[in-house]
Amino acid sequence: MPNQERHRTNHVGWLRAAVLGANDGILSTASLVIGVAAAQVSSHAILVTGVAGLVAGAMSMAAGEYVSVSSQADTEQADLRIERGEQAADQAGELAELTRIYEQRGLDPALAQQVAAQLTARDALAAHARDELGITESFSAWLIQAALTSAGCFAVGAALPLLAVLLTTGGYLIPVVAGSSLLFLAVLGGLAAFAGGASLIGGAVRVTFWGALAMALTAGVGALFGAVG
């Protein structure tokens, strides 16, 4: 039985959507909650604001991911239509073009021509899509999957700071939400970096830094408007 190699790039699409969704859910909701809390409003208002942020953010992530991946898919389909027309108009020219691609990748001319001819005979459009246009099945757009993954992960991430709000009373809300959210971000950043083959510590540090900066800025804005009000 042939050895089945597993590469990290095979799951980069869903990993990106999941990590971005959860990271945005934690960071945006925690920052929103901290900013509102810094304005000295009631606990009920803070919770309502956080829940509204969760729903709006999840829908925004789903819509944004759907539009983004749809645009990618539309571009790929347009390129494939152009390529299909070029093959219908000039098969010999397209075969020569594919041969040159393989020569540029290191094959000698005779072998490049042989490979191009065999792949063209099997599926000319697939060969040109992969080797000329860079479109492969692994990276094809999965619209609904990408949208639901982003929305679901955002909601899960946003629920974490909201849970901290529910469990915290008195004047400890801001430090508890900030501290727990930064911990969640550090864990998420580290796991994402590890899954992608990068440094676990580096991934945790950069996510934590930007998270702390965002929370500090929103807390400052909330305190400023609270004082003005």
Phi-psi domain of 181 (left: phi exceeds 0; alpha: psi -120 through 50; beta: other): alpha
Q: Is residue 178, in this structure, part of any structural domain at all?
A: yes
Contacts of 103 (CB under 8 A, 6+ apart): 109, 112
Contact present, 117 and 147 (Cβ < 8 Å): no
Per-residue confidence band for 6, with pLDDT thresholds at 50, 70 and 90: low
Give the pLDDT confidence score for residue 40 in this predicted structure.
86
Q: Of the given ranges (35-39, 66-70, 111-115, 164-168), which has the lowest mean pLDDT?
A: 66-70
Q: Is residue 2, in this structure, part of any structural domain at all?
A: no
Instruction: Give me the mean pLDDT over the 89-108 stretch.
Output: 86
Percent of the chain with pLDDT over 90: 31
Give the pLDDT confidence score for residue 49 in this predicted structure.
93
- What digits encode the pLDDT tens for the residues 154-174? 999 999 999 999 998 777 899
- Res. 31: pLDDT tops 90: yes
Instruction: Give me the mean pLDDT over the 99-107 stretch.
Output: 87
Phi-psi domain of 195 (left: phi exceeds 0; alpha: psi -120 through 50; beta: other): alpha
- Res. 67: pLDDT tops 70: yes
- How many folded domains does the chain comprise? 1
- Res. 212: pLDDT tops 80: yes
Q: Is residue 199, in this structure, part of any structural domain at all?
A: yes
Give the pLDDT confidence score for residue 156 in this predicted structure.
94
Give the pLDDT confidence score for residue 202 in this predicted structure.
86
Q: Rounded to the nearest 5°, which phi and psi values hold at 168?
A: -115, 140
- How far CA 43 is from CA of 46, 169, 171, 222, 227, in Å, comes to 5, 8, 10, 15, 18
Q: Is residue 152, in this structure, part of any structural domain at all?
A: yes
Contacts of 79 (CB under 8 A, 6+ apart): 129, 133, 135
Question: What is the radius of gyration, based on Cα positions, of the chain?
Answer: 25
Per-residue confidence band for 14, with pLDDT thresholds at 50, 70 and 90: low
Give the pLDDT confidence score for residue 68 in this predicted structure.
82
Q: Which of 118, 153, 115 lies closest to 19 in space, CA to CA?
A: 153
Residue-averaged pLDDT of the chain: 83
| DSSP states of the chain | -------GGGGHHHHHHHHHHHHHHHHHHHHHHHHHHHTT--HHHHHHHHHHHHHHHHHHHHHHHHHHHHHHHHHHHHHHHHHHHHHHH-HHHHHHHHHHHHHHTT--HHHHHHHHHHHHHHHHHHHHHHHTS---GGG---HHHHHHHHHHHHHHHHHHHHHHHHH--GGGHHHHHHHHHHHHHHHHHHHHHHHTTS-HHHHHHHHHHHHHHHHHHHHHHHHHHHHH-
Q: Is residue 168, in this structure, part of any structural domain at all?
A: yes
Give the pLDDT confidence score for residue 5 in this predicted structure.
47
Q: Is residue 4, in this structure, part of any structural domain at all?
A: no
Q: Is residue 3, in this structure, part of any structural domain at all?
A: no
Domain encompassing residue 213: 9-228
Per-residue confidence band for 179, with pLDDT thresholds at 50, 70 and 90: very high
Give the pLDDT confidence score for residue 177 in this predicted structure.
94
Q: Is residue 100, in this structure, part of any structural domain at all?
A: yes
